[in-house]
Structures are given as structure tokens and as C-alpha cells.
Chains A and B, each alone.
Chain A
Amino acid sequence: MRREFAMPDVGEGLTEAEVLTWHVARGDTVTVNQIIVEIETAKAAVELPCPFAGTVGELLAEPGQTVAVGAPIIVIETAEAGAPAAPSVAPGGAGADEEVGAKIGETGKDGRIATLVGYGPRPGSVQRRPRRSATSGAHRSGAVNGAPRGAASPAVDHPRDVATSPVAHVPLAKPPVRKLAKDLGVDLREVSGSGPGGVITRDDVEAHVTAPTAPGPVVAAPSAGGVRREPIRGVRKATAAAMVSSAFTAPHVTEFLAVDVTETMALRDRLRADREYAEVKLTPLAFVAKAVCLAARRTPEVNASWDDAAAEIVYYDRVQLGIAAATPRGLIVPKVRDADMLTLRELAVALGELTATARSGRTPPADLMGGTFTVTNVGVFGVDTGTPILNPGEAAILAVGAIKPTPWVVDGQLAVRTVCQLALSFDHRLVDGEQGSRFLADVGALLTDPGLALTW
């Protein structure tokens, strides 16, 4: 059979050698270890012994020619047919592997270039070896700090258009903020940082999530899990129309206020123990509703509407308080009628009935109409705050965030207090910053110190 003998590395990392003299010619009979050729490398002139017995079939290099280590230099026709006899020279070392391995100089199944049997720097591969399916890396645990291992190319999940600006810097943010942004699906390049040197903070990311975003055609990338399409109709369609209309008609301003509601919560606990409230579900929302009604009395502009057609501002005597509720049909805003006339207990009862009805999907359409002010309780979703969009025709909307223990400075000392964030969006056409701010501050003050209500 035809056997090739490749130029070996005869000395610690050589890459090529020059053929000096052939001691054999085509047709000569050769024996194992017979000297067949003299070569010269950068280090030495050496004689090469033949690894096979047989007949010289072909000389593959001329004297004077420089040959890369690993390239075949001579063909020997050996006596064996088929499988090589054991004492054979196989590319890559083990004789048993010869027939399955790649031929010298060719790329093997493993993507490596099969080269010399011998030793020396292997020519650098410029191809990756194929990997098993991407998920197979999942069992590769731990070594890098819980890093996702062997995941499918992340470029699929989060397209990164790094080429748009070759000198653009990576947005500055601490790793936990990056994780938050990743979890919330926020692209940090769209967020402006408020921290020192433009570093993006946690607040920046959160604010970015809740900020009104410009509507635009959103085409979800096809995902491995498939897609579900639903016609836009019913409550969803109405909500969408209302929100778009509101967002494009009323110039929104949103203000935020963090409030220490420890006293209010203490009051709630005391009242709950009271026989009068035995049957009542007294939620924090009831206190907020009460505070809104009280504060609206001092700032009537927030309980009003802009009548564009009549070119008038309409101020309402009574507060028709809308409560945004998530229901199986979508977001609806049933109203508590004449909320400003109700006691705290009555408000609590009304809120309970209203939400129960809404959740069961039995809210009569009439209950959804004619609101003058809306409270949206984003806190029930565990969210700290948001920037609410006005219910069309109303002047303001208050978002109530999650109520939770928070470090707070009391009399110059750090203390753990129960804190809640309020966000008030108002229609800047009829509510000025001063009025909006006063209203928000009033609500905050009442929730901080419910006793203030006695003085109003």
C-alpha cells in the first residue's frame, strides 16, 4: 500500500527544513531505518531514516526545496495490503488511529490540521471545532461565578449593534444595575445616567421602565417558543385608545414623593382592632383615597377637566374617584361616587365592593364613566413607583407604590420606617407645577401624620 512519510520536526519546535540530498530514487527498495534523505533545518543538518520497508514510489520534494514540517516528502509502496502492519508510522502518533485520522496536511474531522507525526508547533487552526448542541454546556457549572455557560449565542436574544459606533463607549453602570436592566429588558444605551460621571443608577433604570415610551411598530423577534396573536378589542382596545389619546392630548407632568407612612399604618392597625371596623377590609388604599379627597379640597385644580370644545375648565364639587383595577378583561377604572362625602370606613367598604365587582367582571358600564380623579395602586404588584398616564378627561392621577420598610432619617438618625412612593401625573394645561406639587405634598403630609386631617 501507499505510505507517505512527512517531514518531522527534528529539533524542538522547528517549522521547516530544506531537502539537501536524496539517498534513494524512485523504484529503489528500502528497509526500515535506511537513511533516505539528508535535510537541513535552522538548527542542524540531519539524516532521516525511513520508517517503512518497501519500494520508493515517489520523491515529493526536490533537493534545495524548503518543506514545511508535516508535509509529505516521500511515498513508499509497502508490501502490506489494506490495514497497515503494526509498526507503522501514523500521522498523529498512534498507528491504530491512522485510518480514521485525517491525512497529513488535511483538515480532520476535529477541525485540526493533521500534520506531522512529530512534534513542533502545530500550525494555528483558524477554524473552530464544532460543538454539540448549545445546551450541552449547561452542566458546566460554577467555575465562573455562576456565569451562564455554553448558552446559545446571546446575540439572538439581545441583538447588540456594537458596530454602529465603533468608538462609542459602553454605558457606565455597576454590574447589579446591568443585571436589573437585563431583567427588565432595558437597553442601557437608551438610558441617560444621573450618577457621577454619567453612571447609570438603579433609579435611572427603573425610571426608564415606567417612563412613557413613544409608540412605534414593535415586531417581536421570532422566538423559539412560538408566538400567540390575539385581536385587539374590547377593554384592551378602549384602554389603548384612551391611553394614546391621553398621552397625546394632555401634556403630562409627573412628580414623585416618598412618604413615611409609619403613622398611617399604625393608625390602620389600631382601627382594625376597633369593633366598628370588624367587618371591613381596611387597606392602605382607603387612607390614600381619604387623603386625596381632603387634599383636593385645598387644590380644586386637580379635580377638574379641560373642555377643549367649550374652551373652558370645568371644576367639580364632588370627587368621583376612579380606582384602576386589573381584571381578567384588562384594566378598568370603576368609580367611587362622591368619594369626598364618605368617611374612612365608608370609603373602605366602597373600595372593597368595587374591586370585588371588578374582579368578577360584573362592573356595570355606568360605574366606569364620569370620573374626576384616579388612583392607581401599582404597589400591589410590588412596584415602587411609576409614571401614570391620565384617564382621559381628568386632570390628575396618583400612583401609589409598594409600602415597605426602608432606611429613613428621623431626627438626624437612620431608622427603619414604613415608606411608600407617590407619583402624581397631572395635565399641565390646567394644573400648574405649584398646584400639583402642593396637592402631592398635602397627600404626603396626611399620610405621614394622619392627625393633620383634624386641622383641615
Chain B
Amino acid sequence: MSDPHDWAPSTPSAPDQHPSREHVLAGLKATDEGGADLVQLLTPEGERVADPRFDQFATDLDSAALQGLYRDMVLVRRFDREGNALQRQGQLGIWVPLLGQEAAQIGAGRALQPQDMAFPSYREHGVAWTRGIDPTELLGIFRGTDHGAWDPKDARFHLYTIVIGNQCLNATGYAMGQRFESKVGEGPEAEATICFFGDGATSQGDVHEGFVWAAVYDAPVVFYFQNNQWAISEPTERQTRVPLYKRAAGYGFPGIRVDGNDVLACLAVTRWALEECRTGNGPVLVEAFTYRMDAHTTSDDPTRYRLADELELWKLKDPIERVRVNLVREHGIGQEFFSGVQAESDALAARFREYCVNMPPPAPDRMFSQVYAEGSTTVDAQRQEYLAYHESFESHGSPAVGGGR
């Protein structure tokens, strides 16, 4: 089969240049197994392979660094699984699992400099981890006690954005600001922005507009999307004909596809992309080609729309397992290390669980707080009225206290 994406601009008399659905599917999946279009430094079998272009961004990744990345991924996966269980046990309203996307997130997150800014979607628990946000700080969103506990400006990690694609414009604007303030250029002070989204989001107008703005203003923003193959129940071919990273060309900036289950490749490629942006060559589009191994959220049931053998196939490309194999085979790391990480992850999960079940419910007037920077007489009046109403009951506390929902 010829490369399905090599078609030429069609002439009016050549309707057969139009790609068939099979062509599209084949093209989208062609790089599943790696290949020229897919940057990969670590094979699914755990073999470190050379890449003439990106090896230079991975020279410092020795055994210790690799162990660190392994630890990151194991810990993140462990609390992600605990989040799922807590939802099933009624302790969380919902959980958004990242299972399978640990490498894509840890790789990108560890490429960031402290001064860089990240705009997540809502599945970026791994990136949050790399920004120093404790996993317990994520719980409020899913337990329903807050909309995000961290300070986005201090952590340089924006709040989770749930409306699909919104954050691409916000990230672009932030990056424009970095440029307007002359933070783009050589030197340790240079900054860049990274924006996370998914394959589904690429259909949204906001993402398109983000690309346009970033291109027009040379914004130092890395558009980093994790193509996990599924937008809830819709496979990537419901969003596109061409591999998504190729869209960048149309906007006039580079696009690249990286093996999203390869933490080394994700780290190296993101370092490169951020470096491009910091030095004024942004924006850049990165497609981390990965797989959502769990449901979209705990409310979803993927057995309704995808086949189990697809999952089995991707299990062979597990992002953590390949690092473990590499550590054992190429760095001689013994069981003691892995057992230690396992114990650490169990302790983290226990702490995560304990924190979760003991989270106090918000005060009854929480919702009236911080609606405006300068207050509002309407909201103030409603707060007073509601508190008086609340006080008028014999049993104290909001209905949510003690009695459950």
C-alpha cells in the first residue's frame, strides 16, 4: 500500500485522489508500530534506540534519571488507580483516569523549566505531579469540595479546564504575554508555555483559533496533545482525515508525532519543542501517540464501543513496563529498587485515600466566596440571607454534613 497521505492535490478530473475510509484509517494507525513519522527512544520491549535528531535532548538521562522517571510513573499510576477505586466506593463523584498516559505526561512535565507555564485539560494528573502539586490537591475537584486547590500562578500550572479546548486560546494568550514581556530568547530566564489537550479537542474552534493566534503572534507555546485514540466513544477518525500532527503545517509551524508511551521520547521531544519556543521559533505542535487504557471517566463504559483486543494490543506497549525492562537489562537495576517504589506508591495511595475520606465538606457559604474580585452587593445579600436561613434550623451544618447526600 502506498503511503495514503502522499496524495497530490487533486485535479478536477481525478476524483479517485480522494482518500477512502480505509486509507484514512490506515494512515492514522500507520505509526502504531513506530516508524519514520514516530519519534521513539525506547521500544515497547525496553530497548533504547538511537534517534539522530532527539538523542541530543536525552544525553543527561542516565540510570538515576531513568529511575526517577520510572518512580514518577508508578506513583502517578498508583494514585490514579486509587482514585478510580474511591469513586467506585462512593468517595468521589467522578474520577478521570490517566491509565496508559503516564509516559506522555511525565515526559512532557519533566521537560518543563520552573519558569514555564502549563495549561492542562482535566486528565493531566501526571503533569500536575511534575509541577509539585500533591495528588491530594486534585481530590477536591472530583470529590466536589472545590474547583482546584492549587494556586495556578505559583505552581505555573493552570486550573484544570473541562470545556474541551478552551485552554488552547488561554495558553496562547499567556504565551503572547511572555513574548510581549521579552521573555523569549537566549538565556536561563527564557520562558515557554505548554498547552495540553486531547485528540477530540482538535475539532474545537478554540483549538483552531489558538493555532492561528499562536502562529500570527509567534507565541512561545507548545501545543501538546495526547492522542489517546478515543474521544469518549469516538475514535480519531471521527475527528480527522490526516494524522493530527500534520495539521500544523497548514498553520505554518512544525508538528511532530512522538511515541506517547515512551517517556524518554516524550521528554526529549518536549524539551526540543520548549526550546524552540523559548528561542523564538514557536509555536510547535506535538502529538503524543498513546492510548487511554481505562474508560473516559468512571461514568463511562468502553465495552460498549471498543473491542477488548485493542486494549490487549496496547498493554504490550505499556509505558511503565518498558522502562522497568530497560532499567533491569541495560542498567542492572535490581528488585530492591522496584520493591521500594512499589512500597512508596502503596503508602502514597493510603495517604491519598485517608486524605480523601476525611476531607471536610465546604462551609455552607463557600459558594458565595470569591465570585468577584471586588465583591457584589447581590451576592453579599444572598450570602447573608442564606446564612440566616441556615442558622434557623435546629440541626446545624449544611444538609451535606453528617447525613450524606
A and B touch in the complex (CB under 8 A): yes
Q: Interface residues, chain A, CB within 8 Å of chain B? A: 5-6, 8-12, 32-33, 43-51, 70, 86-97, 100-102, 104, 108-120, 122, 129-132, 136-137, 139-143, 150
Cross-chain contact A131 with B88 (CB below 8 angstroms): no
Residues of B within 8 A of A51 (CB): 85, 89, 91
For the complex formed, measure the closest distance between the CB of A182 and the CB atoms of chain B, giving whole angstroms.
24
The answer for the CA separation of A328 and B405 in the assembled complex, in Å, is 65
Residues of A within 8 A of B93 (CB): 118-119
Which one of B87, B143, B357 lies within 8 Å of A87 (CB-CB)? B357
Most chain B beta carbons < 10 A, residue from A87, A93, A110: A93
Which one of B87, B382, B392 lies within 8 Å of A136 (CB-CB)? B392
Cross-chain contact A140 with B388 (CB below 8 angstroms): yes
The answer for the CA separation of A110 and B389 in the assembled complex, in Å, is 14
Residues of B within 8 A of A95 (CB): 357-358
The answer for the CA separation of A14 and B360 in the assembled complex, in Å, is 24
Cross-chain contact B405 with A116 (CB below 8 angstroms): yes
Which secondary structure characterizes the binding site on chain A?
loop
Which one of A50, A87, A117, A150 lies within 8 Å of B353 (CB-CB)? A87
Cross-chain contact B402 with A108 (CB below 8 angstroms): yes
Is B300 part of the contact surface with A, judged by Cβ < 8 Å? yes
Which one of B81, B359, B381 lies within 8 Å of A93 (CB-CB)? B359
Residues of B within 8 A of A49 (CB): 85, 88-89
Is B64 part of the contact surface with A, judged by Cβ < 8 Å? no
Is B399 part of the contact surface with A, judged by Cβ < 8 Å? yes
Which one of B144, B303, B381 lies within 8 Å of A45 (CB-CB)? B303
Residues of B within 8 A of A143 (CB): 381-382, 385
The answer for the CA separation of A120 and B392 in the assembled complex, in Å, is 27
Which one of A48, A101, A113, A137 lies within 8 Å of B89 (CB-CB)? A48
Cross-chain contact A150 with B392 (CB below 8 angstroms): yes
Most chain B beta carbons < 10 A, residue from A87, A96, A136: A87
Is B234 part of the contact surface with A, judged by Cβ < 8 Å? no
**Contact (A89, B388) CB under 8 Å given A110-B402, A129-B393:** no
Cross-chain contact B394 with A116 (CB below 8 angstroms): no
**Contact (A137, B385) CB under 8 Å given A10-B88, A100-B402, A101-B402:** no
The answer for the CA separation of A119 and B89 in the assembled complex, in Å, is 10
Cross-chain contact B393 with A8 (CB below 8 angstroms): no
For the complex formed, measure the closest distance between the CB of A18 and the CB atoms of chain B, giving whole angstroms.
14
Is B140 part of the contact surface with A, judged by Cβ < 8 Å? no
B296-328 vs A, Cβ < 8 Å mask (1 yes, 0 no):
001111011000000000000000000000000
Residues of B within 8 A of A129 (CB): 393-395, 399
Cross-chain contact B94 with A130 (CB below 8 angstroms): no
For the complex formed, measure the closest distance between the CB of B204 and the CB atoms of chain A, giving whole angstroms.
22
What number of B residues sit within 8 Å (CB to CB) of A?
A: 47
Is B367 part of the contact surface with A, judged by Cβ < 8 Å? no
Cross-chain contact B404 with A114 (CB below 8 angstroms): yes
Nearest first, the 4 A-B pairs at minimum CB distance are A44-B301, A92-B404, A118-B90, A117-B90
For the complex formed, measure the closest distance between the CB of A66 and the CB atoms of chain B, giving whole angstroms.
18
Cross-chain contact A94 with B357 (CB below 8 angstroms): yes
**Contact (A43, B91) CB under 8 Å given A97-B401, A130-B395, A140-B388:** no
Which one of B144, B301, B361, B397 lies within 8 Å of A43 (CB-CB)? B301
Q: Interface residues, chain B, CB within 8 Å of chain A? A: 81-82, 85, 87-94, 143-144, 295, 298-301, 303-304, 350, 353-354, 357-361, 381-382, 384-385, 388-389, 391-395, 397, 399-405
For the complex formed, measure the closest distance between the CB of A409 and the CB atoms of chain B, giving whole angstroms.
45
For the complex formed, measure the closest distance between the CB of B398 and the CB atoms of chain A, giving whole angstroms.
9
For the complex formed, measure the closest distance between the CB of A222 and the CB atoms of chain B, giving whole angstroms.
26
Write the chain B residue with the least CB distance to A85.
Answer: B354
Cross-chain contact A11 with B298 (CB below 8 angstroms): yes
Cross-chain contact B392 with A92 (CB below 8 angstroms): no
Q: Can you offer 18 A-B residue contacts whose CB atoms are under 8 A?
A: A10-B298, A11-B300, A45-B301, A46-B298, A51-B85, A86-B357, A87-B357, A92-B401, A92-B405, A94-B358, A102-B403, A113-B403, A117-B89, A117-B91, A118-B91, A119-B92, A129-B393, A137-B388
The answer for the CA separation of A222 and B357 in the assembled complex, in Å, is 54
Cross-chain contact A92 with B388 (CB below 8 angstroms): no
Which one of B359, B360, B392 lies within 8 Å of A131 (CB-CB)? B392
Which one of B384, B392, B403 lies within 8 Å of A101 (CB-CB)? B403
Write the chain A residue with the least CB distance to B405.
Answer: A122
Cross-chain contact B402 with A97 (CB below 8 angstroms): yes
The answer for the CA separation of A12 and B399 in the assembled complex, in Å, is 20
Residues of A within 8 A of B388 (CB): 137, 139-140
**Contact (A9, B90) CB under 8 Å given A86-B354, A95-B358, A101-B402:** yes
Cross-chain contact B392 with A8 (CB below 8 angstroms): no
Cross-chain contact B404 with A117 (CB below 8 angstroms): yes
Write the chain B residue with the least CB distance to A69.
Answer: B90
For the complex formed, measure the closest distance between the CB of B187 and the CB atoms of chain A, giving whole angstroms.
48
Which one of B90, B360, B401, B402 lies within 8 Å of A119 (CB-CB)? B90
Cross-chain contact B381 with A87 (CB below 8 angstroms): no
Beyond A47-B88, A93-B143, 20 extra complex contacts between A and B, CB < 8 Å: A8-B90, A10-B88, A43-B301, A44-B300, A48-B88, A51-B85, A87-B350, A87-B353, A93-B405, A94-B357, A94-B358, A112-B399, A112-B404, A114-B403, A114-B404, A115-B405, A119-B144, A129-B395, A132-B392, A141-B384
Residues of A within 8 A of B361 (CB): 93-94
The answer for the CA separation of A10 and B85 in the assembled complex, in Å, is 11
For the complex formed, measure the closest distance between the CB of B90 and the CB atoms of chain A, giving whole angstroms.
3
Cross-chain contact A132 with B359 (CB below 8 angstroms): no
For the complex formed, measure the closest distance between the CB of A109 and the CB atoms of chain B, giving whole angstroms.
5
The answer for the CA separation of A50 and B397 in the assembled complex, in Å, is 30
For the complex formed, measure the closest distance between the CB of A38 and the CB atoms of chain B, giving whole angstroms.
11
Residues of B within 8 A of A117 (CB): 89-91, 404
Cross-chain contact B357 with A132 (CB below 8 angstroms): no
Most chain A beta carbons < 10 A, residue from B87, B93, B295, B403: B403
**Contact (A89, B91) CB under 8 Å given A96-B358, A114-B403, A115-B404:** yes
The answer for the CA separation of A115 and B403 in the assembled complex, in Å, is 8
Residues of B within 8 A of A97 (CB): 401-402
Residues of B within 8 A of A46 (CB): 88, 298, 301
For the complex formed, measure the closest distance between the CB of A265 and the CB atoms of chain B, giving whole angstroms.
49
The answer for the CA separation of A132 and B391 in the assembled complex, in Å, is 8
Write the chain B residue with the least CB distance to A49.
Answer: B85
**Contact (A132, B402) CB under 8 Å given A45-B301, A89-B90, A94-B361:** no
Cross-chain contact B94 with A12 (CB below 8 angstroms): yes
Residues of B within 8 A of A100 (CB): 402
Which one of A8, A47, A88, A139 lies within 8 Å of B357 (CB-CB)? A88
The answer for the CA separation of A111 and B300 in the assembled complex, in Å, is 33
The answer for the CA separation of A132 and B360 in the assembled complex, in Å, is 25
Cross-chain contact A136 with B391 (CB below 8 angstroms): yes
Write the chain A residue with the least CB distance to B295.
Answer: A44
The answer for the CA separation of A45 and B405 in the assembled complex, in Å, is 23
Cross-chain contact A92 with B87 (CB below 8 angstroms): no
Which one of A12, A33, A140 lies within 8 Å of B299 (CB-CB)? A12
